[in-house]
Amino acid sequence: METANSNVSKAEEFKLLANEAFGARKYTQAIELYTKAIELNSQSAVYLANRAFAHIRLEEYGSAIQDATKAIEVDPKYSKGYYRRGTAHLAMGKFKEALKDFQQVKKLCPNDPDATKKLKECEKAVMKLKFEEAIAVPESQRRSVAESIDFHSIEVEPQYSGARIEGDIVTLDFVKKMMDDFKIQKFIHKRYAFQIVLQTREILRALPSLVDINVPDGKHFTVCGDVHGQYYDLLNIFKLNGLPSEENPYLFNGDFVDRGSFSLEVILTLFAFKCMSPSAIYLARGNHESKSMNKIYGFEGEVRSKLSETFVELFAEVFCCLPLAHVINEKIFVVHGGLFSVDGVKLSDIRAIDRFCEPPEEGLMCELLWSDPQPLPGRGPSKRGVGLSFGADVTKKFLQENNLDLVVRSHEVKDEGYEIDHDGKLITVFSAPNYCDQMGNKGAFIRFEAPDLKPNIVTFSAVDHPDVKPMAYANNFLRMFS
C-alpha cells in the first residue's frame, strides 16, 4: 500500500515537471516526463490526455489519438480525452471522426460554451465536406485547369507598377524585383503569377519521379528542409548562402507551404527560380503539397485571398507534378519523409511511381512523404497516424542495397534545425526557424561539396516578419485549437 501511495506521489511530481516543460514549449521533454508519470500510475486519464496534448503540439497526431483513446478507456467520463482525440482527428482532416468526439464532449459538458462553439464549427466542416463530395467531378472526367489558361491573353493595366516579365523569359532581374515587392507585401500581377506556375508545371512534368543530380568536383550543392510559408526566413537563407544559380544550386525538400502566412510568396519565388534556371533549383514534394493539407493548414485560404479560386486548383495540379526524391552523385538519397514498410525497395521502384495524383494513404509514395526515423531497430507505427517509423537497421539495409551513403530528409522540426541519427547515416534538416512563431527552434541547411560530399550544416535563427500570424488563412476550426 505504501509503495502504491509513493508511486502516485512520485507520478504527480513528474506531472508537475511535465506541465512546466509544456509551458516552456519543451514538448519532447514534457512527453518524457508524462511518460514517467504514466509508468508509475497508468490509471490516470489526466496524464494520458496531457501527453496527448504534447503530441498534438509536435504534430504527432497518431500518438495523440492513441493516448487520448487510452485516457477514455481509463475514464469514459473524462471530457478532455474526447477533446484531445477530436483535435488530433481534426488536424489529420478526419472531420467525421472529430465530430463524434466533440458530440461526446458536448454530452459530458452540456453547459460549456467552448464545447458548444467547437461542436458547431465541426458540424459546419462536416457539412461542407459532404457538399464538396456531392458536387465533386470524378477524376476520370476532370479537365486540367492549366490547359484552359492562356496567360498571354491577360492584360496588364498601365498603372501596374510591380515586377514585369518581358516576353516568355523569367530573368534574374524580374525575380529580384518580385522578391523585393513581396518583402513590402506588394503582389505581382496575376498574369505573371499564371506564367510562373504554368511554366514550372511544364518543367516539372518532364522530370522523373526520382531525379538524379550531378555535382561536379570542386562544386557545392545546398539542401534545405521545410520552409512552411516563412518567406522572410527564406530571404535570410539566400542572404546567408546566396541566391540560387547554376553555380550555387539548391534543393528544397518539400513543405514549402502551409502554416506560415507567406506561403504564396515562398512558392512563387521558388517556382520563379525554377523557370529562370531549372538546374539552379530542385524541388521535391512534401506531405503538405497536397489538397487535403492545403485545405486545413492555410495555403488554400491564402491563395483564394491573394489570388483566386482558379489558382487553388492550378497549384493542386502543379503539386502533383513535383518529383518525390532526389539522388546526389549516386550517393545521397534525399526525400521529404523517409523509408518504407517493406525491405528491398530499389531506386528503380521509386522512379517507376506514377506520382501525378494526390498522395495515397499507403504504399511507397505515401511513405516517401510521411515516414519518420525512430531510435529503435525495425519498424513501428507512425506517431503521425500516416506512414511508419523506421529504425537504423532499415536505413542501413536500404543504403547498402542501393549502393548509397546517406539519407537526408526533412519533415520534422528539430531544436537545432537538424539532427543526425541512425549511426550518422540519416540527417534531418528543417529550415523554418521558430516554427509557427512559437517553437523557438533554429533553422538549418546543408552544403555538400564534391567529390567527398561531406555534409557542412549551417544553422540560423528566425528573422522578423510583418505582423501576420501563422495559420492566418487556415481552416477556421483548426485556428480555434492552435
* Distance between CA atoms of residues 408 and 425, nearest Å: 9
Collect all residues with Cβ–Cβ distance below 8 Å to 126 and sequence separation of at least 6. 95, 96, 99
Inter-residue contact 377 to 359 (CB < 8 Å):
no
Inter-residue contact 423 to 396 (CB < 8 Å):
yes
Nearest to 149 by CA among 298, 356, 307, 284: 307
* Distance between CA atoms of residues 338 and 407, nearest Å: 8
* Distance between CA atoms of residues 292 and 261, nearest Å: 17
* Distance between CA atoms of residues 414 and 433, nearest Å: 9
Torsion sign (Cα): 418, 60, 358, 175? negative
Positions marked active-site: 288
Element (H, E) at 350: helix 347-351
Q: How many CB atoms lie within 10 A of CB 70?
A: 18
The residue written with cell numbers 507520478 in the block is 11
